[in-house]
Amino acid sequence: MKNLPIFDLLIIAAYLVGMVLVGIYFASKNKNPEQYSKASGSIPGWAIGLSIYATFLSSNTFLGVPGKAFGSNWNAFVFSISMPLAAWVAAKYFVPFYRNTGEVSAYTNLEKRFGAWARTYAVVCFLFTQLARMGSIFFGISLTLQALTGYDMEVIMLVTGICIIIYTVMGGIEAVIWTEVVQGVLKTLGALLIVYLIINSMPGGVSKIVEIGKSDHKYGLGSLSLDFTSATFWVILLYGFFINLNNFGMDQNYVQRYHTATSEKEASKSVWLCVWIYVPASLLFFIIGTCLYAYYQVNPAMIEPVKLQAAAERLGAGASSADISRLAATLLPEDYGDKVMPHFMVTMIPTGLIGLIVSAILSAAMSTISSGMNASATVFSEDIYKRYLNRKISQQENMRLLHIATVVFGLIGMLCGIAMIGVKSILDIWWQLSGIFAGGMLGLFLLGIISKKSGNLEAFAATIVGLLVIVWMSLSHLIPEEFAYLKNPLHANMIIVVGTLSIFLTGSLLASFKNKKEADPSVTTGRKVPQKEY
């Protein structure tokens, strides 16, 4: 099917128009930067919790998680299992910290603690993380809509991007939060509908799905061995804890929402509400992947077009049909997992319901992208423009700056999405990029919060060490084989773990050494000082 039925197109168009109208409605309320970035602290905790949940539940989850479960097992679900511990730390320490500072930017405190360089470094890491996130989500949504419509992925990114930019620019953080409340509900209902349709189409129903899943080991959470070179249970658990700690503690998307709450208590409630909804919701997407795997095991002929499409994309334009067929026959489920759910939608979901499910996937993409655009614009305004270019900017000029920055970051996010066309797994590419960019930022933040005796010099030296470690771990695969002993032996998801600990431990040890040196007069005088001279 190369064209959606008119009825489905009308449903999707109505959804996009509705989102734009929401932005227009809230535009009249945004009279100043405080309202645009903080909603003047007027949002109830339950709405913020649903908003954070919707940001977590991006199209990377909607498409990438079922693709991952289809191609392997439930190992990636361990990421969700790590969330409650990170949420506990956030609610107990991070939320009160940010609410007490009153700073809309998550990175202002780093300058007070270590100097301007620390703030700027964290801002750069955050912006790169957001561009990687937006790019992966633009890519994911265009992958689905291309399968449904036949339009070029670049055109799809442009159309959806324009709609997202319009309502984000006009509505500010309040429009983002309230649209995400609707989107969170919509995407959850969409996932439940997909599960129902797969089970309804499956000969043998639930029992057959469970049987196939068991026989092919689809429910495993990963090896429990202490092996950090592959995606074991412990690697994903550590990765998930550090990434979620970064999300709740350093990510402007979430920190900014703490300031929109009516009170500190409501802000803490929003964190826990997000966790208790997201964990079972993410499990639902793993169930979808396993259901799809079982469905296509029973109907193997129906998966052939997906394998041929994946093979054609790998070989590129000009490949012969024979070459495509030969490659398709060798592909494993993990090689085409991200394309399976779009294919099921094209072939098995009836008219009308496709429009609803595509709207759910669009909402998954739009909520995260709009949030990232708003947060990036806020950080650019607070931490770059006001800090280095114009400290005395007027409210009117600041509003104009926020609008322009939102548009610019949205457009750059689209370009990043175009650059990702052809990647093997949406979830893998996002996890790798976020681990690289977030590691140094989180390590510096924890050093400032926990190690009270660490100063500017210790933090700077520790950050240099951490950066060198992260660069080596990220790029060591490029080292020639004759120097294989110099390559990073750990799994890619360990980058954020090792990078964070490198900065925190190095800074703490340097601070401890400095304080010990200052406390011992013999170190500076060169002689042992008698006890009575102290």
Task: Give long-range contacts, CB 8 A cutoff, 24+ apart: 472-478.
Answer: 473/498, 473/499, 474/436
Q: Is 226 helix (H, G, I), strand (E, B) or coil?
A: coil
| pLDDT of the residue at 213 | 93
| pLDDT of the residue at 533 | 40
Q: Give which of 434, 400, 404 is closest to 416, Cα–Cα.
A: 434
- Kindly state the tokens that stand for 489: 């032996």
| pLDDT of the residue at 4 | 67
- Kindly state the tokens that stand for 410: 């949205």
Taking the C-alpha atoms of residue 400 and residue 419, their distance in angstroms, rounded to an integer, is 29
Number of H helices, E strands in the chain: 24, 0
Beta strands, E only, 105-203: none
| pLDDT of the residue at 532 | 44
Q: List, in order, residues 6 or more apart from 267 with CB less than 8 Å away.
A: 45, 48, 95, 99, 257, 258, 261
Q: Is the four-CA dihedral 187, 191, 197, 201 of positive or negative sign?
A: positive
Per-residue pLDDT in tens (0 to 9) along the chain, 534 residues: 345 677 888 888 888 888 778 777 777 666 667 666 666 677 888 988 888 888 777 766 777 788 889 989 999 999 999 999 999 998 988 888 888 877 777 788 888 889 889 888 888 888 888 888 888 788 877 877 776 777 777 888 888 888 888 877 776 777 778 877 887 888 788 889 889 989 998 888 999 999 999 999 999 999 999 999 998 999 999 999 998 988 888 888 788 888 888 888 898 999 999 999 999 999 999 999 999 999 999 988 888 888 888 888 788 777 888 888 888 889 888 888 878 887 887 787 777 777 877 777 777 677 778 778 888 888 888 888 888 888 888 888 888 888 898 889 888 888 888 877 766 555 566 556 666 666 678 888 888 888 888 888 999 999 999 888 988 888 887 788 888 888 889 988 898 899 899 999 999 999 888 877 776 665 555 555 554 443
| pLDDT of the residue at 520 | 64
DSSP 261: B
Taking the C-alpha atoms of residue 254 and residue 133, their distance in angstroms, rounded to an integer, is 14
Q: Give which of 91, 43, 28, 55 is closest to 365, Cα–Cα.
A: 55
| pLDDT of the residue at 134 | 84
Is residue 142 within 8 Å of residue 157, measured between CB atoms? yes
Q: What is the CATH number of domain 6-524?
A: 1.20.1730.10
Q: Is the four-CA dihedral 210, 211, 212, 218 of positive or negative sign?
A: positive
User: DSSP characters for 469-505?
Assistant: HHHHHHHGGGS-GGGGGGS--S-GGGHHHHHHHHHHH
| pLDDT of the residue at 460 | 92
| pLDDT of the residue at 250 | 81
Angle at 33 between CA 158 and CA 397, to 5 degrees: 80
- CA 158, distance to chain mean position in Å, is 21
Is residue 79 within 8 Å of residue 239, measured between CB atoms? yes
Taking the C-alpha atoms of residue 420 and residue 414, their distance in angstroms, rounded to an integer, is 10
DSSP 338: G
Q: Is the four-CA dihedral 393, 397, 400, 404 of positive or negative sign?
A: negative
HEC letters along 408-453: HHHHHHHHHHHHCCCCCCHHHHHHHHHHHHHHHHHHHHHHHHHCCC
| pLDDT of the residue at 311 | 86
Identify the burial level of 332 via C-beta atoms within 10 angstroms of its C-beta, where 0-12 means exposed, 13-18 middle and 19 or more buried: exposed
Model confidence pTM above 0.85: no
Q: Which residue bears the tokens 């093979």?
A: 311
Is residue 81 within 8 Å of residue 240, measured between CB atoms? yes
Q: Is 43 helix (H, G, I), strand (E, B) or coil?
A: strand
- Kindly state the tokens that stand for 196: 């129902």
Q: Is the four-CA dihedral 373, 377, 383, 389 of positive or negative sign?
A: positive
Taking the C-alpha atoms of residue 202 and residue 446, their distance in angstroms, rounded to an integer, is 49
Total residue count of the chain as it appears in this document: 534
Which one-letter amino acid corresponds to residue 347? T
Identify the burial level of 422 via C-beta atoms within 10 angstroms of its C-beta, where 0-12 means exposed, 13-18 middle and 19 or more buried: exposed
Q: Is 221 helix (H, G, I), strand (E, B) or coil?
A: coil
